[in-house]
Structure 1
Amino acid sequence: MNLKSIHIGKLIHERVNELQMPVDRIEKFLKCSEEEIENMYLQSSIDTFLLLRWSKLLEYNFFRIYSAHLILYAPPANPGTPSKQKGNLPVFRKNIYTEEVKNFILEKISSKEMTVNEVILKYRIPKTTLHKWIKKA
């Protein structure tokens, strides 16, 4: 899976095919026509409420794909700058590391494309976490 360039419509369509989900069930759940469903498969992005509905219907958390993208490709925060004012949004203590992210990182290390220290600095993965992954691999 290419986490750098996400085409959510294709991923949803893949999951529908995996589950062999009948179109009439999708139509009833999403309250839309077959034509609208086919159109969604062609879209590279989708409304979050609709993505939530797809996630429930297909029993797959599509939002984790975006979380994995953020872990790998979001620019790191500058350690020297003060943190922004705390607001009402929840603060998450831990990143969500999917198997795809772990495999991606471990492949970078095993192929000698990056060193452990480079991974720690670039992707902000805690040293202890990374060493646990390497030990289990």
Structure 2
Amino acid sequence: MVHIGQLIQKELYRQNRSITWFAEQLCCSRSNIYKIFSHSDVSTMLLFKISVILHCNFFRYYSESLEDIEKM
């Protein structure tokens, strides 16, 4: 199963971006960013915003997961 919060955190660190920068981009507090990291899912609108900010299509992880399930 996809844990999107961990994937977002991993991508943020891969890009060498700070939590403060990310919070400013999302117009939220740093504590909310840590909450996002801890959640296994987020709303589609939030995921879309994060995808745009980080220039990373996080929806693909769900598509890949569906493809794996269909192969079973």
Structure 2 alignment gaps of length 5 or more: none
- Indicate the residue corresponding to 1:34 in structure 2: 30
Inter-partner Cα distance in structure 1 for 2:18 and 2:6: 17
Inter-partner Cα distance in structure 1 for 2:61 and 2:20: 27
User: Could you tell me which of 21, 26, 39 is aligned with 1:25?
Assistant: 21
Structure 1 alignment gaps of length 5 or more: 75-122, 124-137
Report Cα offsets for 1:50-89 as digits up to 9, x if no partner: 1011111111100011011111214xxxxxxxxxxxxxxx
TM-score, structure 2 as length reference: 0.89
Q: Structure 2 matches for 1:1-137, cutoff 5 A?
A: 5-74=1-70, 123=71
Following TM superposition, the consecutive aligned residue runs of length 4 or more in structure 1 with deviations greater than 6 angstroms are none
- Which one has a larger percent helix, Structure 1 or Structure 2? 2
Matched positions, count: 71
CA RMSD of aligned residues (A): 1.1
Q: Which has the larger radius of gyration?
A: 1
Q: Name the % identity.
A: 31
